[in-house]
Structure 1
């Protein structure tokens, strides 16, 4: 019986100690994305501009040491680009979408991602401090859509076939942030850059080197599981 109590006490102590080194959290903010440029058709080479959108995630932060932790996330981000130039006479066709004369295009894809990031704290972890983030991310494209404005006035939202795309994407994430300890938890702000390594488009017989690029700024909070003294 004494052995059983000792075992249960050890398990409880281990659980509480380890739990104090796990934090759960959430973040949300804005992102700006684009794709690497390519020639659409012979006479149309528009500039891909940054498209503003939103992003958010929930995460767990597993502390390995006082200054190093691993943060897996479940994230949502919208990627794409803007084409603001008016197109040439006769319009154009892009990924099965007819773009009218004088139309501008916002092209959007919705991704659900799992980044696994290493977090390196700079400075005293018990005071406001900066940190670095870096690691890989795997994403799945849920759907795609386009918003076209004719002469900058009339919005049109044609459907976009996902047959043109690779649904899975592998990318790298790097970031810099600042943690502000508040009680047992933290609030933070951070900036990120995400670099896509996988090709976005899947067009037969054409290997277009089109990849996602995005910048993001977000704020969030985290809190520990268990209790701290």
Structure 2
């Protein structure tokens, strides 16, 4: 798996080195928010806890290498905050009044990611709608579990660092699909983009228990790209 990740990263830099051989190669950056969540394992079906998206930052540097008039290869080197949030709440009956009591638990990981995408431009002109699709591989550099009390009073968060290895998987292979709209802006392009990421790697490996926990996420980004080379 590590060799696979290294090959993906190497392809990004090989494309960068050879980019001057292509006309209208674009280099760019994007930044925005990722709303991470996970698939719900069946063991939680009978519980009242609610799994909700965990918002976090995402950003990337990328190249856009034309393969034809409408199709480009877009390797990225990205940072993504993934995770999910679990909320539990109930009322404490004190006869005279019901006190709302609850807690939230957020799992958050800081991932380095290499998406290898194809970009399909639908039209030419000053405004260009497009689609993107392709695989991605990511590595969780670190992670934490953040807990806090909610309800009538909101407590200060308590953070617990995660130890990867064993039950927790650092690696994640996923598929990415998305759509965007680019606008001419001087020599470059300004764009807005929405993408969905569907993880295929099981994130929790526990003997006996079948915990089908896989990453999911929706990211919204704004960015800018400009031509380099000839």
Q: Distance in 1 between matches of 2:118 and 2:229?
A: 23
Number of residue pairs matched by the alignment: 201
Structure 1 pair 132–42 and aligned structure 2 pair: CA distance change class (3 A): closer
Q: Distance in 1 between matches of 2:71 and 2:44?
A: 49
Do structure 1's residue 148 and structure 2's residue 150 form an aligned pair? no
Q: Distance in 2 between matches of 1:16 and 1:204?
A: 47
Do structure 1's residue 128 and structure 2's residue 127 form an aligned pair? yes
1:170 to 140, 158, 173: 173
Q: Provide, for residues 172-228 of structure 1, a one-character-per-residue CA deviation record: whole Å limited to 9, x for no partner.
A: 00000011122321111000000001111122333311101100110101111135x
1:224 to 199, 223, 227: 227
SS in 2 for 1:86: strand
TM-score (norm 2): 0.79
Q: Distance in 2 between matches of 1:130 and 1:209?
A: 36
CA contact (8 A) 1:60 1:73 kept: yes
SS in 1 for 2:21: helix
Q: Max radius of gyration: which structure?
A: 1
CA contact (8 A) 1:39 1:45 kept: no
Deviates more, 1:34-43 or 1:213-222: 34-43
**Residue 37 of structure 1: CA displacement?**
1.2
Q: Distance in 2 between matches of 1:223 and 1:67?
A: 17
Do structure 1's residue 60 and structure 2's residue 63 form an aligned pair? yes
Structure 1 pair 186–156 and aligned structure 2 pair: CA distance change class (3 A): same
* Alignment correspondent of 1:107: 107
Any unmatched runs of 5+ in structure 1?
Answer: 1-14, 90-100
Any unmatched runs of 5+ in structure 2?
Answer: 1-17, 93-100
After TM superposition, the structure 1 = structure 2 runs for residues 20-35 of structure 1, keeping only pairs within 5 Å, are: 20-35=23-38
TM-score (norm 1): 0.80
Q: Distance in 1 between matches of 2:29 and 2:56?
A: 18
Structure 1 pair 182–161 and aligned structure 2 pair: CA distance change class (3 A): same
After TM superposition, the structure 1 = structure 2 runs for residues 8-87 of structure 1, keeping only pairs within 5 Å, are: 18-38=21-41, 44=47, 46-86=49-89
Quote the RMSD (CA, aligned, Å).
Answer: 2.4
Structure 1 pair 42–192 and aligned structure 2 pair: CA distance change class (3 A): closer
SS in 2 for 1:154: coil
Q: Distance in 2 between matches of 1:88 and 1:140?
A: 40
